[in-house]
Amino acid sequence: MNDILPEISATWRYLETTVQEIVQSYGYSEIRLPLLEHTDLFKRSIGEVTDIVEKEMYTFLDRNGESLTLRPEATAGMVRAGMTNGLFHNQKQKLWTSGPMFRYEKPQQGRYRQFHQFDVEAVGYDGPDVDAELITMSARMWQRLGISKIALQINSLGTPNGRRNYREALVKYFSGVKNALDEDSIRRLEQNPLRILDSKNPDMRSIIEAAPIMLDYLDEESAHHFDGLKALLDAAGVSYTVNPRLVRGLDYYSRTVFEWVTDALGSQGAVCSGGRYDGLVEKLGGRATPAVGWAMGIERFVALYGACGGESPTSDVDVYVAALGDGTLERAFALAEELRNSIKGIQVELNLGSGSFKSQMKRADKSGARYALILGEQELADGCVGVKPMRSADDQVSVALDELVATLARKLS
């Protein structure tokens, strides 16, 4: 769990704001969700035989003996919120949310126990058009931010019905190589053979590579949906590769799944992942409602932005107000407030804790301010203020107090 320090928080804020602007421009509205949900919600939605539910959840009993869990992802909570608030009743919803998620994982570069996701979900839409739009929207983020080292993989998981045949084929295949399976996979062979494909164990890789692929078992409608998605991505100029091994770590997906991956961040390459989960609302007790969404890991997003040469936005102080001598602090204090009132967006830092001229100028320099405003006893008596450029060799000038706002507004524009 990390502290996000001031040196990086401006980059976080900038990237989050940019993503918010983009998703809002596609008509998505914000929803804010609790960090805690009943444990059962995650067990039922994510699936009992998944890494998250088996070994990654922060679960505890509250004072009332109820089992609660810190959310490991946002989709389950979003669906729960939509159902309890009637948002899906004869309505479609396009929603986004963001915030911390919690998974008890082995911490390493790009993998943390408290991490952050930006999450987008469209509920009530069943066509490939919305899948394509969600993916295109994410492509727009990379483009807007100059992120190039990223590639899109897509796959289709078909429908739960269609998956039955595939499941049989998988069980047959993996049973034939049972001796080579690791412990997790042997357990999953009985309970949830598809999960074997998501194994992170490198020793399992070659066995998984040779396994039957879902795309060969797609039902006709799912194949049609997948073709529709590809055609729309082609039309939008979003390039992709079909990765028939892409299964995603949660149980609730159907049809479209996709992942934006990078090789610029070492082994934690998944930056933004998502897919369609047509069965989830019904599974959680609602009316059958199609849905699709994605989640982006913000830590990996921030790291990738840096790896692609993205700059941290600077938010430098515009003016530093120095006060020297008797009675000057009150005037300087009022002046700083007046500037904040009069010039929109101006960043004014008032010298706090008095100090000599030299030390106040040192602080002004350190603040990054473009101008220092110097208010001494003489200036106070004359009704003016010294305006000292801090980032150029220009001379200090004296400006009448009643002209200061206009002068500074001009200089800063």
Question: Would you tell me which residues interact with ligand ATP (CB under 6 A)?
Answer: 73, 103, 105, 111-112, 115, 117, 249, 268, 270-273, 295, 297, 299-300
Report the nearest approach of ligand ATP to the CB of residue 109 (Å).
10
Compute the least distance from the CB of residue 294 to ligand ATP, in Å.
8
3-state secondary structure of 82: helix
* Smallest distance, ligand ATP to C-beta of residue 52, A: 7
Choose between 49 and 346: whose C-beta lies nearer to ligand ATP: 49
- Of 266 and 327, which CB lies nearer to ligand ATP in the complex structure? 266
3-state secondary structure of 215: helix
270 vs 385 by CB, closer to ligand ATP? 270
Q: Which residue's C-beta sits nearest to ligand ATP?
A: 297
Rounded distance between C-alpha atoms, residue 256 and residue 154, angstroms: 7
Residue with smaller CB distance to ligand ATP, 86 or 202 = 202
- CA 317-320-326 angle, to 5 degrees, is 160
Residue owning tokens 């499941």: 167
Taking the alpha carbons at both ends of the chain, their separation in whole angstroms is 41
CB of 249 to ligand ATP, least distance (A): 4
Of 46 and 321, nearer to ligand ATP (C-beta) is 46
| Cβ atoms of residues 249 and 52 within 8 Å | yes
Separation between Cα atoms, residue 23 and residue 18, nearest integer Å: 9
Q: Min. distance of Cβ 15 from ligand ATP in angstroms?
A: 13
Residues with Cβ within 8 Å of residue 259, at least 6 apart in sequence: 152, 153, 243, 246, 248, 270, 272, 273, 274
Q: Considering beta carbons, is residue 102 or 320 the nearer one to ligand ATP?
A: 102
List beta partners, residue 108. Answer: 111
- Give the nearest distance from C-beta 56 to ligand ATP in angstroms: 8
CA 307 to chain centre: 17
Least distance from C-beta 4 to ligand ATP, angstroms? 13
CB atoms within 10 A of CB 114: 13
Q: Check: CB of residue 114 under 8 Å from CB of residue 2.
A: yes
Q: Tell how strand 93-102 and strand 348-350 pair up.
A: unpaired
* 8-state DSSP, 407: H
